[in-house]
A and B are shown apart, each in its own frame.
Chain A
Amino acid sequence: MKDGDHKDGKAKDAEIHPTPMLDQLEDGPWPSFVTGLKRLRDAKGEQYAPMMNDLMGQLNHSYENRKGYWKGGVVSVFGYGGGIIPRYSEVAEKFPESKEFHTLRVMPPPGFHYTTEILRKLCDVWEEHGSGLIALHGQSGDIMLQGCTTENTQAAFDAINELGFDLGGAGPALRTAMSCVGAARCEHSCYDEGKAHRQIINAFLDEMHRPSLPYKFKFKFSGCGNDCVNAIHRADFAVIGTWRDDIKIDQEKVKEHVATAGRKYTIDTVVNMCPTRAISLNDDDTMEIDNASCVRCMHCINVMTKALSPGDDKGVSVMIGGKRSLKVGDMMGIMIKPFIKLETQEDFDDLEEFAETCIEFFADNALEHERVGETIDRIGLPAFLEAVGVEADPNMVNHPRTSSYVRTDDFDDEAAKWFERKARDAGMTVAGE
């Protein structure tokens, strides 16, 4: 076995549940979680060892019967309504030590940065109060401290709270958010993801800790259109970095790229793959980009990381309403704010204010167990835009409506508003102002 040091040798064989199914998951080149579970089970004298023995027994039982045996319940810590996922075993008579095996959802630092020091402290807390099993990270971004008894939950939370960590979301509430590594190490980043992540989530903590929304509400922060944290499918409020001015081109580096990668390869993989045919390669191997056609998809920048980069006038797009299947089917966020400049503190405050408007709309208008994307579909996008104070914009659609079933008697008024807005954007004064 390549697992290395078992802490203290094995517990007495007689006490150990056989795990013939799980044992088969210890071969192969990938690190095995089963080997890890066994290390916990065999950590002699540790309070969690018996719990992990029964946990493994139950898991093997699941493998044999192809059934899960956990049911939910209600567990929380003092002052909070959410953040703990309660788990009670349905086979506790066979595996009594793991009859309670709750998870603490803990919010990670943006970008998942840690010092080894803080991780070790988290491990110490979890050895003292929990099972010693930690998932880094759940798909919503949480550090998942898995396996705590009801009795130990409060003490475990107190200890991690003293380390500067807080519980995340569960139930009908604001959920834990996630952000990409972004500005910390990625040249594509168009804003300070970590700052936006912290400012927004921390502004609405009450909605996380004391669940009172119709259903879950998730934020995710990606620094560019590559969307490394999958905001578009899975966030009710997806914040994705972008820019308004021209892509930056270093023509010398373009030439170098063409010289190394080859002309044909460059044309095949960059020019021909631009979704809007915005790129052409000149005869002297410099590059021309028609920025008015560019949709900021990131492809050419991904391929030519040295030669091309996002423009200087940076900010974010906000897409609203992404979610998975239940119950009307999958949804992706709809482009609602094509651009919010995000540089100064004032810009960040504007984003927060818009987020607040959207959460309030959701709280007031969603039916029970309805995600905001479904609410928008139910009432129609125009009603949502009106509620959150956003004007219709061609960037919101693939194409204008095709159905003629609509009343258009105030079309002229709406058109007048559009022209006024355009005039205002162009710096002109509008009549009556």
Chain B
Amino acid sequence: MSNEKTTPRAADEVGVPDHHQYMHPVLEKNHGNWAYHDRPRAGVLRHVSKSGDEIFTVRAGTQRQMDVFTIRKLCDIGDEFADGHIRFTTRSNIEYMMSDEAKVQPLIDKLGEEGFPVGGTGASVTMISHTQGWLHCDIPGTDASGVVKGLMDMLHEEFIQEKMPNRVRITTSCCQINCGGQGDIAINVQYTKPPKINHDLVANVCERPAVVARCPVAAIRPAMVDGKPTLEVDEKKCVCCGACYPPCPPMQINGDDSTKIAIWVGGKHSNARSKPTFHKLAVANLPNNAPHWPEVNAVVKRIVKAYKKDAKHWERMGEWIERIGWNRFFEMTDLAFTKHHLDTWTGARKTMNQSAHIHF
């Protein structure tokens, strides 16, 4: 190999690469000139350009955290069917584009043989957008890829068909930072115990004023333990958010006894019909039971089923609940409404019913 380097290579600050060099030629040719699309079947899109060109897209689910062999296999399929061009969706589905309709079915068959489910279009439950969990993050209360694998196994039927009232976007997050984002259903770790402090380390690794400033409820105070400066937490005030952990790892938030899972519903980012919304608490304190998270799966299944059965076409989950009322939502999903569903944070009053409107 090379001799010892004297000067390191200076980075070429290329920034965001030019996508046109990678784009399928039919997309490149019709860039900005598309007329409409339809969906010949679940998992397949047909886009028609104003120039008359057509492109068929086949969408398939992946495991997101992929080994190079899987990626190469997906590439082989792309070479065989899609002229060596592929793209990914924001939810880690892969898309193959083809101008020849005759290739669609053989590609679907091939993806099936290789174990990649075809679907995720239109009114389906598409791939869950998720985070890193135990595989790689430094604050996770649970895994991400594992939870998602279990959930997608359970929801597989709803991925490969378009039988929901509207699209269902599910997200998971392995701590309250919630990298997974907003969703029709958001499955998030909720820490339930204040951080456990390793007092021996605080003075050395934590910038204490910064940690104190980070706490949203001012629960952290400077303290002395065994003659050493450290921090203490007013446990009655603490909301277990974990914000103190990143600047002060000795304030361990992710203990095995304190990671519960909460499920939230009715988030949506699209502006279609109703304005975008945040997701709202449906149930908390579900056990964090690896490797199959059966309790979480069961609740998600109930929510998806109730929505599927009762919502009108084009209603997203939040819009459906808005129409039927929370009363009926809790009834239909067999979940409890508790005092913890009442918001206590800034602006809480805006979340209360300030009217005489009621549902029975």
Chain A residues with CB under 8 Å of chain B are 2-5, 7, 21-22, 24-25, 27-34, 36-37, 39-40, 43, 59, 62-72, 77-80, 85, 87, 101, 103, 107-120, 123, 126-127, 132-141, 146, 154, 157-158, 161-162, 164-167, 177-178, 180-181, 183-187, 189, 192, 194, 197-198, 201-202, 205, 209, 225-234, 240, 265, 268-269, 273-275, 295-299, 302-303, 305-306, 309, 324-330, 332, 368-369
Assembly CA distance A426 to B237 (angstroms): 56
With A116-B79, A225-B271 in contact, do A165 and B152 touch (Cβ < 8 Å)?
no
Residues of chain B lying within 8 A (CB to CB) of residue A234: 181-182
Cβ–Cβ contact B90 & A178, under 8 A? yes
Chain A nearest CB, measured from B116 CB (Å): 6
Q: A67-B254, A225-B272 are in contact. Are A114 and B63 (CB under 8 A)?
A: no
When C-beta atoms are compared, the residue in chain A nearest to B147 turns out to be A25
Please judge, given known A-B contacts A39-B67, A187-B35, whether A62 and B134 are in contact too, CB under 8 Å. yes
Instruction: Determine if B89 and A112 form an interchain contact, defined as CB atoms under 8 angstroms apart.
Output: yes
B129 at interface, CB cutoff 8 A: yes
Q: Does B179 contact A (CB under 8 A)?
A: yes
In the complex, what distance in Å separates the CA atom of A178 from the CA atom of B38? Answer: 25
B65 engages A187 (CB within 8 Å) = no
Q: Which listed residue (A141, A185, A302) contacts B47, Cβ 8 A?
A: A185
Central interface residue in B255, B269, B290, by most chain A CB within 10 Å = B269
Q: Which B86-143 residues have a C-beta within 8 angstroms of A?
A: 86-90, 92, 97, 114-117, 129-143
Is A107 touching B15 in the complex (CB atoms < 8 A)?
yes
User: Chain A residues near B178 (CB, 8 Å)?
Assistant: 324-325
Contact A230 B181 (CB under 8 A): yes
Whether A202 contacts B15 in the complex (CB less than 8 A), given A30-B152, A32-B149, comes out as yes
Contact of A39 among B69, B86, B273 (CB under 8 A): B69
Query: Which among B24, B134, B292 is the interface contact of A59 at CB below 8 angstroms?
Result: B134
Choose from A109, A132, A139, A265 the contact partner of B67 (Cβ within 8 Å).
A132
A268 with B312, Cβ < 8 A, contacts A31-B61, A70-B136, A305-B36 known? yes
Residues of chain B with a CB closer than 8 A to A22's CB: 146, 291
Task: Using A68-B137, A111-B19 as known contacts, list a sample of 17 further A-B pairs with CB atoms less than 8 Å apart, ordered by residue number in A.
Answer: A5-B69, A24-B291, A28-B156, A30-B63, A78-B10, A136-B66, A139-B131, A139-B180, A184-B28, A186-B34, A197-B16, A198-B16, A201-B16, A275-B273, A298-B272, A306-B38, A325-B178
Q: A67-B256, A115-B84, A225-B271 are in contact. Are A205 and B15 (CB under 8 A)?
A: yes
Partner of B116, one of A31, A37, A229, A325: A31
Which chain B residues in 1-28 approach chain A with CB under 8 Å?
A: 8-24, 27-28
C-alpha gap A33/B146 in the complex (Å): 8
| Cross-chain contact of A146 among B11, B73, B136 (Cβ < 8 A) | B136
10 nearest interchain CB pairs?
A: A28-B153, A225-B271, A36-B67, A109-B19, A116-B75, A62-B134, A202-B15, A187-B34, A66-B256, A327-B216
- With A and B bound together, what is the CA distance between A306 and B46 in angstroms? 12
Q: Which residue of B lies closest to A114 (CB)?
A: B22
Q: Provided the pairs A136-B88, A369-B214 are in contact, do residues A31 and B272 lie with their beta carbons within 8 angstroms?
A: no
Instruction: Tell me the complex Cα distance, A158–B2, Å.
Output: 14
Q: Can you name the residue of chain A whose Cβ is closest to the Cβ of B315?
A: A273
A202 to B65, CA, bound (A): 27
- What is the distance, in angstroms, from B99's C-beta to the closest C-beta of chain A? 12
Q: Once the chains bind, are B269 and A233 in contact (CB under 8 Å)?
A: yes
* Residues of the A chain whose Cβ atoms lie less than 8 Å from the Cβ of B73: 4
- CB pair B137 A70 closer than 8 Å: yes
- Bound CA span A292–B335, Å: 43
* A164-B17 in contact (CB<8A): yes
Whether B139 and A68, one on each chain, are in contact in the complex, defined by CB atoms closer than 8 angstroms, is: yes
Whether the Cβ atoms of A136 and B92 lie closer than 8 Å is: yes
Contact across chains for B243 and A32 when beta carbons are under 8 A apart = no
8 contacts between A and B (CB under 8 A): A21-B291, A30-B153, A32-B149, A37-B67, A66-B256, A114-B22, A164-B14, A166-B17
In the complex, what's the smallest C-beta–C-beta distance from B13 to chain A, in angstroms?
5
Question: Is B22 within 8 A of A118, CB to CB?
Answer: yes
The answer to whether B314 and A114 touch across the interface, beta carbons within 8 angstroms, is no
Residue in B15, B57, B273 whose CB lies within 8 Å of A198 = B15
- Is B276 an interface residue, CB under 8 A from the partner? yes
**CB neighbours of B64 from chain A (8 A):** 33, 135-137
Bound Cα distance A22, B149 (Å): 11
User: Is A189 a contact of B32 with CB atoms below 8 Å?
Assistant: yes
Knowing A66-B290, A110-B16, say if A269 contacts B63 (CB, 8 Å): no
Instruction: Say whether A68 contacts B47, CB under 8 Å.
Output: no
Residues of A within 8 A of B341 (CB): none
Task: Enumerate chain B residues within 8 angstroms of A183, measured Cβ to Cβ.
Answer: 31-32, 34
For the complex, what is the distance from the CA of A111 to the CA of B131, rounded to whole Å? 20
Q: Which among A27, A68, A101, A109 has the greatest number of chain B C-beta atoms within 10 A?
A: A68
- Contact, CB under 8 Å: A21 / B290: yes
A26 to chain B, nearest CB (A): 9
**In the bound complex, CA of A185 to CA of B214 (Å):** 43
Interface residue from B74, B85, B134 paired with A113 (Cβ < 8 Å)? B85
Cα A342 to Cα B287 with chains together (Å): 49
Q: How far is the CA of A369 from the CA of B211 in the complex (A)?
A: 11
Q: Which residues of A contact B285 (CB under 8 A)?
A: none
Task: Give A185 to B35 CA distance when docked, in angstroms.
Answer: 10
Identify the closest chain A residue to B88 (Cβ). Answer: A112
**A65:B256 contact, CB within 8 angstroms:** yes
Given known contacts A31-B61, A186-B34, is B276 in contact with A161 (CB within 8 Å)? no
Q: Which residues of B contact A209 (CB under 8 A)?
A: 11, 13
- B65: chain A residues within 8 A (beta carbon): 33, 36, 133-135, 146
- Measured between beta carbons, the chain B residues less than 8 angstroms from A135 are 64-66, 92, 132
- Considering only residues 187-231 of chain B, those with a C-beta below 8 Å from chain A are 210, 213-216
B143 & A177 in contact (Cβ 8 Å cutoff): no
Contacts of B92 in A (CB 8 A): 135-137
C-alpha gap A68/B12 in the complex (Å): 35
A154 to chain B, nearest CB (A): 7
Closest residue of A by beta carbon distance from B151:
A30
CB neighbours (8 Å) of A329 from chain B are 345-347
Q: Does B97 contact A185, Cβ atoms closer than 8 Å?
A: yes
Q: A338 to B313: give the CA distance in the assembly, Å.
A: 30
Docked Cα-Cα span, A369 to B71, in Å, equals 37
Contact B34–A185 (Cβ < 8 Å): yes
Is B270 interfacial (CB-CB < 8 Å)? yes
> Are B156 and A198 neighbours in the complex by a CB distance under 8 Å?
no
- A302's partner among B8, B57, B115, B272 (CB-CB below 8 A) is B272
A189 surroundings in chain B (CB, below 8 A): 32, 34
Whether A101 contacts B19 in the complex (CB less than 8 A), given A30-B149, A205-B13, comes out as no
